[in-house]
Amino acid sequence: MIALRDVSKSVIEPDGSARVLFDRLDFELSDQDHSVAVTGRSGAGKSTLLRILAGLDTDFTGTYMHDGRILQRTAPEMAAHRLRHVGLVTQDYSLLNDRSVLDNVRLGVPDRARATCGALHALEAVGISHLASKRPRRLSGGEAQRVAIARAIAKHPTVLLADEPTGALDETTESEVLRLFDQLQHGGCKLVIVTHSDRVAERCERQLQVHRHQLVARSVS
């Protein structure tokens, strides 16, 4: 399905020094996979990994493959890949406060002719149709999280990437989001979830961690 091979990336710290984030990292999400949790220390590169998988960060060496084909790491090719196959829920939700919930979710559908229909379905799927005309700033954390998820799934992506999706939620709201993820999985959407929560990680089929610049099977410490 999608795979990273031999991915290396360094970043420049504010003091000007280079820091290795990934060193020949491999990752594979196969057709058989349903859900993968990614854990790791703060600053280990988890959000960067999701941005690479989403095609938003193309500044790395190595190979990104989709269905056995190497994707060119150019902005247009990666954007086309993202628009067709990948939904991303960022840590801060990235919602536009001057637009309605419905308009925010419409932005997740590249095909404008289908945007309203897709957005309404997505809002229904995450159980917040009644919030369609509200502004995001009037929502609770759990509601805003659902809007972000609705926007990411509105185009029916093959893979949903979620960056610490329950980090800001209380336990009850976390349970609701986890149920929603279960439904998405049953509907055939693959999940890659970056999380600090054992509870969330344990719900996933596979648990990986960013450790020493690579992705390895998670060892609970």
Ligand X SMILES: Nc1ncnc2c1ncn2[C@@H]1O[C@H](COP(=O)(O)OP(=O)(O)O)[C@@H](O)[C@H]1O
Residues that bind ligand X (CB under 6 A): 11-12, 21, 40, 42-48
Indicate which of ligand X, Mg ion, none lies near residue 145 (CB less than 5 to 8 Å, by partner kind): none
Report CA-CA distances (Å) from 196 to 54, 72, 73, 81, 200: 20, 32, 30, 28, 8
**Angstrom distances, CA of residue 118 to CA of 9, 99, 104, 146, 195:** 36, 17, 12, 15, 28
Structure tokens, 175: 């349970």
Among Mg ion, ligand X, none, residue 219 binds (CB under 5-8 Å by kind): none
> What is the rounded CA–CA span in Å between residue 70 and residue 77?
11
CB closer to ligand X, 30 vs 61: 61
Residue 116 binding result from Mg ion, ligand X, none, given CB thresholds of 5 to 8 Å by partner type = none
- Judged by CB under 5 A, the number of residues near Mg ion is 2
Nearer to ligand X, 47 or 158 (CB): 47
What is the DSSP code (8-state) at residue 139? Answer: S
CB 192 within 8 A of CB 159: yes
Please report whether residue 167 would count as binding Mg ion according to CB under 5 A.
no
Q: What is the closest distance, in whole angstroms, from the C-beta atom of residue 84 to ligand X in the complex?
A: 24
Q: Are 24 and 62 in contact (CB under 8 A)?
A: yes
User: Residue 190: which of Mg ion, ligand X, none does it interact with, CB under 5 to 8 A by kind?
Assistant: none
Among 3, 5, 26, 47, binds Mg ion (CB under 5 A): 47
Interface characters, 61-100, with Mg ion (x: CB under 5 A)? ----------------------------------------
Calculate ∠ Cα 90-119-111, nearest 5°. Answer: 90
Binding residues vs Mg ion (CB under 5 A): 46-47
